[in-house]
Structure 1
Amino acid sequence: MLRYTLMRLGIFAGCLLVVWGLVYAGAFPRGFGDSNLLWVLLLSLVLSAPISFVVLRKERDRASVQVSQRVDRMKANIEASRSQEDEAVDEAAQSQGQARTSS
């Protein structure tokens, strides 16, 4: 998951450098007043999203598998914990029931 995130940030940084260069070269229009930085960041984000979607498909699938395995392990742990609690409650109820019948 960290690898995917770093790769995505790398693509964004590359797009940021390219867009920054193109804006200052005059190929893309500049933002109004002090909004130039925001314009460059927004344009870089818009360009990097589809590039990341296509280029990082395999890495995203690997990250998805890792996340689903982690979720499955957590569900199994929760279910095991729940069954242990149920057993403890049943044993307590049985021991209370036996104590009442013997008194």
Structure 2
Amino acid sequence: MLRYTLMRLGIFVGCLVVVWGLVYSGLAPRGLGDSNGLWIVLLALLLSAPISFVVLREERDRASERIVQRVDRAKANLDANRNQEDAADDTARVEGRPS
């Protein structure tokens, strides 16, 4: 997951540098008034999102599989704990002890 995040951040930084160069060279609009920095960041986000979606598809799928495995493992652990508690409770009831 960290690898995907770093790759996505790298694409954003690359887009930020490109947009900054385009804005300051006059090839892209400068924004309104004092909004120049925000304009550059928004344009970089707008460009980096579809690039990340296409370029990082395989890495995103791998990260998703790892997350699903972790969730399945956590569910299995919860079920095992629940079954142990149920078995202990059933044993206590059979032996006549309060639960």
Q: TM-score band, normalised by the shorter chain? A: over 0.9
1:84 aligns with 2:75: no
Match for residue 24 of structure 1?
24
Amino acid at match of 2:32: F
Distance 2:94 2:41 in 1: 66
The ranges of structure 1 where at least 4 consecutive aligned residues each deviate by more than 2 angstroms after the TM superposition are none
TM-score normalized by structure 2? 0.94
Distance 2:36 2:49 in 1: 20
Amino acid at match of 1:75: K
SS in 2 for 1:50: helix
- Aligned-pair identity in percent equals 69
Superposition RMSD in Å:
1.3
Amino acid at match of 2:21: G
Match for residue 14 of structure 1?
14
1:51 aligns with 2:58: no
**How many aligned residue pairs are there?**
98
Match for residue 38 of structure 1?
38
Deviations along 1:1-39, whole A, 9 cap, x unmatched? 100000000000000000001000011101111111111
Q: How far did residue 88 of structure 1 move?
A: 1.2
Name the one with the larger helix percent: 1
TM-score normalized by structure 1? 0.90
5+ unaligned residues in a row in structure 2: which ranges? none
Match for residue 68 of structure 1?
68
SS in 2 for 1:31: coil
Q: How far did residue 91 of structure 1 move?
A: 1.3
**Structure number with bigger Rg:** 1
5+ unaligned residues in a row in structure 1: which ranges? none
